[in-house]
Amino acid sequence: MQPQPPAPEGPWGEVDSATSRRLLGAAVEAFGERGFHATTTRDIARRAGLSPAGLYVHYRSKSALLGHLSRVGHAAALRLVEHALSLPGDSPRRLHALVTAFVAWHAEHHTVARIVQYELRSLDAEDAREVAAMRRRLEGLVEAEVRRGVDAGTLSTQHPHQATRAVLSLGIDVARWYSPAGRESPARLGRIYADLALRMLSAEPPAPARLDDQETV
């Protein structure tokens, strides 16, 4: 199983028919703008250049379309993480590459990422199970790398689990606020955030003056 670099041309290169691809693109736009529940199947169909009924030839239901989208999006994010963690070097290097790519992806594909990260509630039971497994796997992979770094002495944190959450939060939250109208490019944002993430995990503890917390429970 060789590490695959993330597909360059967007998250769904291999989706079956051209019409299915148009529907996925239309759904991304619509769900991204208004959210899943506020989007009508008519709106999706219209954006894809189809009649209201046309959608149902390709998808069993509106939520089946969301499910497909969510699975494809999660697979892309997971692939990107696996690729970064397969790079040579030490844990700081791999995590720097990981955050760079993870943040850049959430900025570049912020519309898809918003659906991936914020529409989990609307998934059908089966899709929800599959997606939850992918999410657990992604977080587990990153946490394992953090723990390897701590064990090797190249990273330092007393709370690997929470630090992992924090690192991923930086990337995920980008999807919430990012706008291409803003000043920074996805790539630049990725580098800035990767530097910040490494400072959180750095082996040289900056020992910030312990301030107002007497005890650390």
Q: How far is the CB of 59 from a second copy (least distance, A)?
A: 19
Q: How far is the CB of 170 from DNA (least distance, A)?
A: 33
21 binds a second copy (CB under 8 A): no
Stretch that binds a second copy, among 20-28, 51-59, 126-134, 183-191 (CB under 8 A): 183-191
Report the chain's terminal Cα–Cα distance, integer Å.
Answer: 43
Binding mask 143-162 for a second copy (x = CB under 8 A): ----------------x--x
| 203: CB partners within 8 A, 6+ apart | 92, 149, 153, 154, 155, 156
Residue among 75 and 170 whose Cβ is closer to a second copy: 170
SS3 label, residue 104: helix
Identify the residue among 4, 17, 169, 185 touching DNA (CB under 7 A). 17
| 74: CB partners within 8 A, 6+ apart | 116, 131, 134, 135, 138
Which partner, a second copy, DNA, none, binds residue 189 by CB below 5 to 8 Å per kind? a second copy
Residue among 50 and 116 whose Cβ is closer to a second copy: 116
Q: Report the candidate in 173, 169, 151 with the shortest Cα–Cα distance to residue 160.
A: 151
